[in-house]
Amino acid sequence: MNSGLLQGWLTYQENSPLLFTQKYFWIFFGLVLGIYSMMYKHTARRNIFLFLVSLFFYYKTSGFYFFILLFSTVVDFFIGRAIYENKVNWQRQSLVALSVVLNLLVLGYFKYAYFVADFIYDLTGIEITVQNTFALWTNKALGTNFIFEKILLPVGISFFTFQTISYSVDIYRGHVKPVKNILDFGFYVSFFPQLVAGPIVRASEFIPQLYAPYNLTKQQAGLGIFWILNGLLKKLFLADYLAVQFIDRVFDNPQLYSGFETMSALFGYSMQVYADFSGYTDVAIGIAVLLGFTLPKNFNSPYKASSVADFWRRWHLSLSTWLRDYLYIPLGGNREGSTASYLIVFIFFVFISLSVGSAMLTLVLAVAFGSGFLAMRYSSVAARWVNTNINLMLTMVLGGLWHGSSWNFVTWGALNGVGLVIYKNWKKISPWADRNKWYNRAIGLILTLVFITFTRAWFRAPTWDGAIGILRKIPTDFGWSTAAEVIASNWKFYIVLVSGYLMHWIPSKYKWQMRKSVSNSSPYVLFLMALASSLVIYQILSAEVQPFIYFAF
C-alpha cells in the first residue's frame, strides 16, 4: 500500500474528517467488526478495544482535541468515584458542583469565548484578544501546526460534556454506581457511533450494558442494517439533495429571491435539519445494535406534532429529556421558581439591556421585572402563574444557547419557550383542544409546523437581522405571479420535499411493520437491499457531501 495513502488513513486530515457518509468510514467499521468478532465474548477486552477504536475515531474527526475528551474522562471518573465513596452530604454536593463547573468551563471556553468577548467589547469598549491556548500548548509540546489565533469548536463537545455531567449527577442521585475502571468509563464517554452528534446517552442507560454479555439475534442484526440504510438515505437523498439543489442558494443570497422562494427554503430547511440529524442518529443506533448496544431513541416523527409541546416531546429526545431532568426540574419544574431561576432571569435581563444599549428597553425590562416581583409578592395567582412558566422559558433559552453562541440561538430558544407558554395556557380554554377529532389534529399539525419552521430562520441565518430579512420577504414580496415558474424550474426539489413530508406522515404502525419485515428478512434479501440503497445513493449523491449540521453544536 502507498505509504502516503496509509498515513492519510491513520492520521488526522483537517479537510477529511471521519464521517458516516465516507467510504473510508465503512472500511474502518468493517475492520472494527472483523477484530470485534474475535473478542466480543470477553466483556473487558471488548470494552477496551471499543474505547481505543473510539479514541481513534475522535482523533480522525477532531485531531488532538481528543485530549479534551481524555481530560473530561479522567476528571469525571475520579469525581464520580469520590461522590460514591463520600458520605458527607455537603461534600458530595460540592463534588457534583465541581464536576458541573469544570465541564461547563471547558465547554464555555471553546464554545462561548467569542460570544463573551463580543459582549464585553459592546459593554465596555475593551477589546479582548481570544486565542486558542490549547493549540499553542499542543504546538509547543508535540510540534503540531494548529491555528492558535482562532478557537475552533471541538466536534461533539456539547454532547460528551452533557454525558459526563449526567454521570456525576446520576451517581449523586443513586441512579447508578461508578464504573469498575477508567477504561470502561472512557468507553462510555467516547462510544464512537454517537460521540460527535448524539444521541446524548445517560450513564444510567448505558453503563449497565458495559457488563452485559454480547447478544445479537438475527432480527436485531436485520434491524441494525435497516437503521443504517434508513439513516444514510435520509442524509444523502433528503438532507443533502434539498440543501444543494435549493436551500443553500436561497440562504446565501436571500435578497435575490422572492418571498415564495424563501418560504420554500424555510420549509425545505425544516425537512433538511430533521433528515440530517435523525439520519445521523439512525446510523448511530444501527451501528450500536450490530456491536451489541442499545442507544436511546432520539426522534419520534416530530412533524406529526399537533402542538409545540408535542413537538418537543418528539424532537431531539435525548436533549429534551436531559434538560428536563438536569435543568428544568432542579430549577423547580412547574411547581415553583427557585432562587437560581430569578437570578438567571435578572442576569439575562441585564445582559440584554447592556448588549442592546437602549434606555427604553432597559426601562421596559426593569418595569417588567419589578412588576412581576410585586405581583408575585401580593398575588398568589400571579405567583403561581410565574412559577409555572419561568423555568420552562429558562430551559428553552438555555437549550437554545446550547446549540450555539449567538443571539440567533437565544432568540430561537426564547421563541420556542414563548410558544410552549402560550400553548400551555391556551389549551385550557381552547375550543379545539379535543385531539380525538381529526380536523383539530390537522389544524394543530399545520400551525405547529408553520411556527417551528419560521423560528428556524434564526437557526439557519448567519445573523439576527438576516433572519428578520428572510421572514420580512414573505409578506412584503411573496411573488405570486412567479410562483408557478419557480416550481417548474425547481420541480425536482419540490418533488423530493413533498415526498419527504408525505413519508414522514405515514402512520407509525405501518413504519413499524416495515421495520419488522426488514428485520425478519434473510441475509440475501438484506444484502440486496443494501446494494440497491447504495446504487440509489450513488445516483443522487451530490458532488460535495454536506457535513452533518449538528457537528457544529
Q: pLDDT for 131-147, tens place per residue?
A: 666 666 666 666 666 66
Give the mean pLDDT of the chain: 82
pLDDT confidence band for 345 (50 / 70 / 90): low
CA dihedral defined by 21, 27, 30, 32, rounded to 10 degrees? Answer: -100
Q: How many residues does the chain have?
A: 553
In this structure, is the dihedral angle defined by the CA atoms of residues 196, 202, 204 and 205, taken in order, positive or negative?
Answer: negative
pLDDT for 267 beyond 90: yes
- In the prediction, which pLDDT does 295 show? 92
pLDDT for 341 beyond 70: no
Which of the residues 42, 175, 316, 403 is marked catalytic? 403
- In the prediction, which pLDDT does 347 show? 67
- In the prediction, which pLDDT does 237 show? 83
pLDDT confidence band for 312 (50 / 70 / 90): very high
33-38 mean pLDDT? 87
- For the segment 176-211, what is each residue's pLDDT rounded down to a tens digit? 888 888 999 999 998 888 887 778 888 888 888 988
pLDDT confidence band for 334 (50 / 70 / 90): low
Give me the helices (H) in 291-406, please: 308-312, 317-323, 329-331, 339-356, 359-378, 380-403
At 39, the amino acid letter reads: M
Task: Kindly give, in sequence order, each residue whose CB lies less than 8 Å from that of residue 71, ignoring residues fewer than 6 positions away.
Answer: 106
- For the segment 51-89, what is each residue's pLDDT rounded down to a tens digit? 999 988 888 888 777 888 888 999 999 999 999 988 888
pLDDT confidence band for 451 (50 / 70 / 90): very high
- In the prediction, which pLDDT does 106 show? 86
**pLDDT higher for 256 or 142?**
256
For residues 386 and 376, the answer to whether their CB atoms sit within 8 Å is yes
15-37 mean pLDDT? 81
SS3 content of the chain, % helix, strand, coil (to 5): 75, 0, 25
Crossing angle for the helix pair 157-173 and 89-124, to the nearest 10 degrees:
150
- Give, in order, the Cα–Cα distances in Å from 209 to each of 192, 200, 288: 15, 15, 11
- In the prediction, which pLDDT does 305 show? 92
pLDDT for 457 beyond 80: yes
- In the prediction, which pLDDT does 122 show? 67
- In the prediction, which pLDDT does 9 show? 65
- In the prediction, which pLDDT does 141 show? 67
pLDDT for 7 beyond 70: no
Which region, left, alpha or beta, applies to residue 82 given φ > 0 means left and ψ of -120 to 50 means alpha?
Answer: alpha
Highest mean pLDDT among 14-18, 105-109, 150-154, 331-335: 105-109
**pLDDT higher for 432 or 451?**
451
- In the prediction, which pLDDT does 528 show? 75
Q: What is the DSSP letter of 213?
A: P
For residues 327 and 333, the answer to whether their CB atoms sit within 8 Å is no
Task: Kindly give, in sequence order, each residue whose CB lies less than 8 Å from that of residue 143, ignoring residues fewer than 6 positions away.
Answer: none
- Considering the entire predicted model, what is its pTM? 0.87
pLDDT for 27 beyond 90: no
244-254 core/surface letters (b: 16 or more CB in 10 A; e: else)? bbbbbbbbeeb
Instruction: Respond yes or no: is residue 403 known to be catalytic.
Output: yes
Highest mean pLDDT among 375-389, 429-443, 447-461: 447-461
- For the segment 101-125, what is each residue's pLDDT rounded down to a tens digit? 898 888 888 887 777 777 776 666 6
Quickly tell me which residue has 494548529 as its cell.
Answer: 146
